C-alpha cells in the first residue's frame, strides 16, 4: 500500500503559479474542485484557510500540510503543489515552503486519515524521497515517487474478549 492510493497524477502540480500561501491554497483547492474531489470550492477553501490561520502547518524542512474535514468530501485524497521559489507561509518564520500537500478529509474517515498521516510522516523524514519529489520533471514522475512511498496500513481496533 502506498501514498499514491490517495492521490492521482492529475493531482500533482509540478509548478505552482501562485506566489503566496493563500493563493497556493486556492490553486490546490481549485485542482481538487476541477477534478471532482471537492464539490463546493469556496466553503472548502475557507475551512482550509481558517485552520491554517489558527495553526500553521509549515515545517522547517520546507513543507506545508494544510487540510480540512468536510461532509462534502466523499473520498480521502490529497493534492501536491511544488514551487521553485520559496513561498512565505501563513504564520511561518523561516526559509519558506517548496512543497505543499493539501488533504481533503471526509468527516467520517478520521482513522484512515491518521493512518495516511503516519505514512506521510515517513515521507517527511526521508530526505532522498523528498529530493526526488523536488527534482521530478513532471506530474507523472512526482506521482511515481509517491507510488514507491509506503503508507501505514490502518489497523482495526482490537476486539475485547
Q: Is residue 154 part of a domain?
A: no
Provide the pLDDT for residue 160.
35
Q: Is 15 exposed, middle or buried (0-12, 13-18, 19+ CB in 10 A)?
A: exposed
Please tell me the predicted confidence (pLDDT) of residue 120: 82
Residue 137 belongs to a domain with what CATH number? 3.40.930.10
Cell output for 55: 495553526
The domain total for the chain is 1
In which band, very low, low, confident or very high, does the pLDDT at 161 lie, cut at 50, 70 and 90?
A: very low
Please give the Cα distance from 49 to 57 (Å, whole number): 11
The reported pTM is: 0.90
Percent of the chain with pLDDT over 90: 66
On whether residue 161 sits in a domain, the answer given is no
Averaged pLDDT, 110-122? 84
| Average pLDDT, integer, range 7-32 | 97
- Confirm whether 9 is domain-assigned: yes
116: containing domain = 3-147
Is position 43 within any domain? yes
Task: Give yes or no for a contact between 119 and 151, defined as CB atoms under 8 angstroms apart.
Answer: yes
Amino acid at each position: 500500500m502506498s501514498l499514491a492510493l490517495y492521490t492521482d497524477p492529475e493531482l500533482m502540480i509540478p509548478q505552482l503559479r501562485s506566489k503566496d500561501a493563500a493563493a497556493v491554497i486556492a490553486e490546490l483547492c481549485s485542482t481538487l474542485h476541477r477534478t471532482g474531489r471537492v464539490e463546493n470550492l469556496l466553503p472548502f477553501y475557507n475551512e482550509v484557510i481558517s485552520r491554517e490561520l489558527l495553526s500553521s502547518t509549515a515545517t522547517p524542512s520546507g513543507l506545508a500540510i494544510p487540510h480540512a474535514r468536510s461532509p462534502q468530501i466523499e473520498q480521502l485524497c490529497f493534492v501536491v503543489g511544488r514551487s521553485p521559489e520559496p513561498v512565505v507561509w501563513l504564520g511561518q518564520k523561516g526559509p519558506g515552503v517548496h512543497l505543499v500537500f493539501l488533504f481533503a478529509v471526509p468527516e467520517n474517515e478520521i482513522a484512515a486519515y491518521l493512518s495516511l498521516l503516519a505514512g506521510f510522516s515517513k515521507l517527511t523524514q526521508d530526505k532522498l524521497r523528498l529530493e526526488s519529489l523536488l527534482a521530478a520533471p513532471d506530474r507523472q514522475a512526482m506521482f511515481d515517487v509517491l507510488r514507491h512511498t509506503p503508507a501505514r496500513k490502518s489497523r482495526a481496533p482490537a476486539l475485547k474478549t
